[in-house]
Amino acid sequence: MSTVAAARAWLAQDPDPVTRAELAEVIDQAESGDAAAIADLDDRFDGRLAFGTAGLRGRLGAGSNRMNRVLVGQAAAGFAAYLREKAASGSVPTVVIGYDGRRNSDVFARDSAELFAGAGLRAVLLPRLLPTPVLAFAVRHLGAAAGVMVTASHNPPDDNGYKVYLGGADEGSQIVSPADGEIAAHIQRVADAGDLGALPRSEAYEIADESVIEAYIAATATVAPAPAGAAGMNWVYTAMHGVGYETLVRILETAGYPLPVVVEAQIEPDGRFPTVAFPNPEEPGAMDLAFETARAAGAEFLLANDPDADRLAVAVPDPAADGGWRRLTGNDVGLLLGWRAAERASGGSLACSLVSSPGLQTVAEHYGLDFHATLTGFKWISRAPGLVYGFEEALGYLVNPGTVRDKDGISAAIAMLGMIAEAREQGETLADVIARFHDTFGAFASGQVSIRLDDVAVIGTIMATLRAQAPASIGGVAVERIEDLLDGADGTPPSDVLRLWLTDGSRVIVRPSGTEPKLKVYLDVRGDTPADAAARVAALDVGARALLASAQA
């Protein structure tokens, strides 16, 4: 089928007048010979957004290679077929649907609810836009077979996504293989039929009772009820134009914490993300308004959620930093929260992704706990045996596995508030707590180098080059050994990851991003002092950039 024919077939089943008009215009221009329109059409239909262990995620727009109502409808119908296939004879699976404040999230969620109900499932739609952790909680709380969250988390403003969770034995965790492949096969069969309008729909879906949200609030408030040291706490919060604040405020009031000074321009949900080019606290410039607010307020610390509130960023005053404020890395926060969890644990395990700081293993060993390094993603971390705490360096933390089996930026915020409040009782700041961690466990430091590429194929070329021409040294330090996880390692499934160990004990990991067209390099060191660790990371950073440039040449 030609690209134009594929586009017209897509147009015939698209229920969205906006994307229909968008695609019709591109088709007309392409048929008139417009080279840009032809290229645009090819890009929209030269493939299909792949359904994998992260569900779906991509740019909004018409076409099989975009996020739109056709693609989401096919995904919902395919997922419904999978759930019916797996259900016990005579049972009716329940599926919960949540959505955030991104463009079309509510539309995609309602389409999904109608298609699930039309397929004979019990579909329960959350009552309004809410954080991703509330959806993950609701799957377990309602005893559902599955859940869907419409979100692109911290992706660029023009993206949206479709994240899938399984209940039952999976306890509300994100899907992993082989479920992803089986669901994808059902979705493909729906897509091949090419008639979205023929799929049965029903408005007989339920709207979840407010008690579901109240139960999440009550459970999360118990993570760290406010100690006396919380009194008078002066802090700043930003929701990054996302959905976190409404839920967070109710938990703060329940747990007894003072409300923050908020970044007014970013506190309400807004899918346009008008004050940030990229709504990810890790991206340059994303925290600038928050830092400005914190300086004006004379704040002790700053907390930020990403748009769907499944991640948490933390920043502290630092005279040496540009602007006087420094955002802690995900590893910094992850190790602090891991320390807090280990102190309170009576057994069990700590877990982190294999690209996160090895310092968590040191913490686990110090307290006699088990430790697990998993593949990247909370779909793996959440399944670690005996889990009491897990994290990944991309600002994700699982602090309350009995409640949510996924990263949760709101419960992590409560845990961090508890740690800071306890330190205040001893006359300490968060910076003092960090210093105590270094004194106790060592000066761990980390860094990251990433390159964004328009052509995803280049990422594969770089990985192949590194495998074929392994570096002898990085940043002036000799490479001691290389582990290629494509063949599987440490009991993990095969993964496109290279792990390089240097002779000074440093570690360099290279992997493609699972959610964005990026190649990432993770740097980890353990220095004699924080200054020594920082110097080692800086040298590795230079070496890693040179390595990528050479492999890309």
Q: What's the Cα-to-Cα distance from 28 to each of 3, 11, 67, 205, 491, rounded to whole Å?
A: 13, 12, 22, 39, 53
Dist. CA 235–CA 168, nearest whole Å: 39
Token representation of residue 347: 């057994």
Q: SS3 for 182?
A: helix
What's the rounded Cα separation, in Å, for the pair 198 and 206? 23
Angle at 386 between CA 390 and CA 375, to 5 degrees: 45
Question: How far is CA 283 from each of CA 159, 286, 515, 549, rounded to the nearest angstrom?
Answer: 16, 6, 15, 21
CA-CA distance, 15 to 494, in Å (whole number)?
A: 40
3-state DSSP: the chain helix, strand, coil percent, rounded to 5? 45, 20, 35
Spatial neighbors of 182 by CB under 8 A, at least 6 apart, are 82
Whose structure tokens read 């959620």? 305
CA 19 remoteness from chain centre = 27
Question: Which amino acid makes up residue 223?
Answer: V
- φ and ψ at 198, to 5 degrees? -80, -10
φ and ψ at residue 521, rounded to 5 degrees: -125, 125
In which element (H, E) is residue 458 found?
helix 456-468
- First CA to last CA distance, the chain: 36
| SS3 state at 282 | coil
Rounded distance, CA 258 to CA 186, Å? 49
Catalytic residues, by residue number, are 153
DSSP string, 148-201: EEE--TTS-TTEEEEEEEE-GGGTTEEP-TTHHHHHHHHHHHHHHHT-GGGS--
CA distance 125 to 318: 44
Measure the CA–CA gap between 435 and 446, rounded to whole angstroms: 16
Angle value at C-alpha 154, between 148 and 157, nearest 5 degrees: 100
Q: Under a CB-based contact definition with an 8 Å cutoff, are residues 100 and 130 in contact?
A: yes
